[in-house]
Amino acid sequence: GEDVEQSLFLSVREGDSSVINCTYTDSSSTYLYWYKQEPGAGLQLLTYIFSNMDMKQDQRLTVLLNKKDKHLSLRIADTQTGDSAIYFCAEIVSGAGSYQLTFGKGTKLSVIP
Amino acid sequence: EAQVTQNPRYLITVTGKKLTVTCSQNMNHEYMSWYRQDPGLGLRQIYYSMNVEVTDKGDVPEGYKVSRKEKRNFPLILESPSPNQTSLYFCASSLFKGLEAFFGQGTRLTVV
């Protein structure tokens, strides 16, 4: 079956950059997403990237996509304590005339003041 | 304000007692879905609905039912809950399948 892989934990110091990595499986995925889940809250769509792009930048967030290696990363510059959350990578998996979103297990980012 | 509203936020129930978790969205989205989130397993889709009266199974539909009688509401029904359905449940809605843009706050269900 399809699996989206992420490391489970990441700790960084406030002000440093965070890099959260993800590997996905479906080479035909057209969209790849990053979601943020703060404690006690639902998932928030943070950003997404089209498969024909290598990079997307949005303020402190940079998404890098390596299609050859099926590797996606999310870089958060100048990480703040408010960035502490679980970050989920997700891909669209297609098959049997349909498609659905498949999530990784999430990376818990802890920001140390 | 655009939102997805789930109720209740927390629920403790006993095995076999039917329950319903409601989900409502105010964005006129056609697509809605239910997920459960479990430690070490991430999010898994239970059911989804492409439009009114159109529902389909996700990855883990066993023990659940849904209905979509109107566009804004998509309740999740557990006819006979069991302890293995203890989980955190999320409802989501979007304009189209494959981009769950809006999530509810979650319902933490405990079945004893």
pLDDT category at A102 given cuts 50, 70, 90 is confident
A40 contact residues in B (CB cutoff 8 A): 105-106
Q: With a cut of 70, say whether residue A41 has pLDDT above it.
A: yes
Q: Count contacts between A and B (CB, < 8 Å).
A: 47
Pairing of strands B42-51, B54-57: antiparallel
Q: What gap in Å lies between CA B93 and CA B25, rounded to an integer?
A: 7
Q: B47 φ, ψ to 5°?
A: -145, 160
- Mean pLDDT, residues A53-82: 94
Inform me whether the C-beta atom of residue A33 falls under 8 Å from chain B C-beta atoms. Answer: yes
Strand partners, A63: A56, A74
pLDDT digits (tens, 9 = 90+) for B84-107: 999 999 999 988 776 777 899 999
- Yes or no: say if B27 and B2 are a contact pair by the CB < 8 Å rule: yes
Percent of chain A with pLDDT over 90: 63
Query: How far away is chain B from the Cα of A100, in angstroms, using its nearest Cα?
Result: 5
**Which of A45, A99, A106 faces B42 most closely, judged by CB atoms?**
A106
Structure tokens at A107: 């990376």
Across chain A, mean pLDDT equals 89
Instruction: Provide the token pair at B99.
Output: 């981009």
- Among B92, B99, B106, the residue with its CB nearest the CB of A31 is B99
> Which residues of chain A neighbour B101 with C-beta distances below 8 Å?
45
- Looking at residue A36, its pLDDT comes to 95
| φ, ψ for residue B84, nearest 5 deg | -75, 0
The pLDDT of residue B56 is 92
pLDDT tens profile B7-43: 999 999 999 999 999 999 999 999 999 999 998 888 8
Which pLDDT belongs to residue A95?
Answer: 62
Q: Does A39 touch chain B (CB under 8 A)?
A: no
- A88 and B43 in contact by Cβ < 8 A? yes
Burial (CB < 10 A; 0-12, 13-18, 19+), residue A63, is buried
pLDDT at B83 over 60: yes
pLDDT range class, residue A98, cuts 50, 70, 90: low
Give yes or no for a contact between A32 and A47, defined as CB atoms under 8 angstroms apart.
no
How close B29 gets to chain A, by Cα (Å)?
16
d(CA A83, CA A69): 27
Return the bridge partners of A25, or none. none
